[in-house]
């Protein structure tokens, strides 16, 4: 029987969409699962534990969807952070480059002509949602974005029913987790990092966490990185994290 993780200091990092919330047809309708919200609150009550939500969504979009004080909240894959004490920080030296990088957004917007494509501008990235796109048209979207990546300084990451165009290639969720560790003064030698997510951007962070001796939890039908624990749904993730954190015994359940 797994009795939890034997570390006094733990940093829990969660993706939002598809990890703490179910994937929904309309992205604006995404909500944190009630049991996931209770999990985050319970983790914050444990001595030596800190928790973060790291999303490619804009920070202003993420904050009301989570609504739990005491967390680290990262938007734009960690380019922007809201700290537990209310301070906000933005990635140093990146805003000037971002302004120039955003010129490619006009080209990405050409995909709006494809029936079913939904383009979400997240400032630091652009999400091209293809849930409602036919298979033939989807292949054309992939070809267009692939060609754009070859001629522009961008990075293409894939998720369930979406392509994420990182406007600054170095800003991904690995960047976000490394930034979080610095601002939270959390080192892998003094504690355990646990990361949970469901797409390619999360996989980049997971691989880094595993290399630091931490733990990755992959949400979905396939494990995203070697060595990751795998759960199929956000609801299963909640149960797995409660077990790993020893919360059931802590709560007397």
Q: What are the pLDDT tens digits along the chain (253 aa)?
A: 344 455 579 999 999 999 999 998 888 899 999 999 999 999 999 999 999 999 999 999 999 999 999 999 999 999 999 999 999 999 988 988 999 999 999 999 999 999 999 999 999 999 999 999 999 999 999 999 999 999 999 999 998 899 999 999 999 999 999 999 999 999 867 799 999 999 999 999 999 999 999 999 999 998 999 999 999 999 999 999 999 999 976 554 4
What does the pLDDT read at residue 60? 96
Report d(CA 158, CA 107) in Å as an integer. Answer: 19
CB atoms within 10 A of CB 201: 25
Structure tokens at 231: 């759960």
Selecting among 2, 8, 15, 143, the annotated active-site residue is 15
77 and 166 in contact (C-beta within 8 Å)? yes
Phi, psi of 102 (to 5 degrees): -70, -5
* Torsion angle of the four alpha carbons 54, 15, 164, 24, in this order, in degrees rounded to the nearest 10: -130
Quote the pLDDT of residue 1: 33
CB of 218 within 8 A of CB of 198?
A: yes
Antiparallel, parallel or unpaired: β 162-166 and 72-75:
unpaired
Domains of the chain in start order, with CATH, are 10-91+172-250 (3.40.50.1000), 95-166 (3.30.70)
Contact (CB, 8 A) for 37 and 68: yes
Question: Coil, strand or helix: which one is 240?
Answer: helix
What pLDDT is attached to residue 2? 43
Decide if 15 is catalytic.
yes
């Amino acid at each position: 029987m797994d009795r939890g993780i034997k570390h006094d200091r733990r940093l829990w990092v969660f993706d939002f969409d598809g990890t703490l919330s179910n994937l929904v047809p309309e992205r604006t309708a995404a909500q944190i699962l009630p049991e996931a919200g209770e999990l985050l609150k319970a983790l914050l009550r444990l001595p030596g534990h800190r928790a973060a939500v790291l999303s490619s969504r804009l920070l202003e979009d993420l904050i009301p969807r989570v609504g739990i004080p005491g967390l680290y909240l990262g938007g734009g894959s960690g380019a922007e952070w809201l700290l537990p004490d209310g301070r906000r920080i933005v990635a140093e030296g990146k805003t000037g480059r971002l302004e120039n990088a955003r010129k490619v957004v006009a080209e990405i917007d050409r995909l709006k002509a494809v029936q079913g494509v939904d383009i979400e501008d997240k400032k630091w990235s652009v999400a091209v949602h293809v849930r409602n796109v036919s298979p033939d048209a989807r292949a054309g979207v992939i070809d267009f974005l692939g060609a754009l990546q070859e001629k522009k300084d961008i990075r293409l990451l894939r998720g369930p029913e979406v392509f994420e165009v990182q406007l600054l290639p170095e800003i991904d969720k690995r960047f976000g987790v490394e930034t979080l560790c610095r601002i939270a003064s959390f080192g892998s030698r003094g504690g355990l990092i646990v990361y949970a997510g469901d797409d390619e951007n999360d996989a980049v962070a997971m691989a880094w966490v595993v290399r630091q001796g931490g733990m990755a939890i992959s949400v979905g039908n396939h494990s995203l990185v070697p060595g990751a624990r795998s759960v199929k749904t956000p609801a299963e993730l909640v149960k797995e994290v409660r077990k790993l954190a020893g919360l059931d015994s802590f709560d007397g359940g």
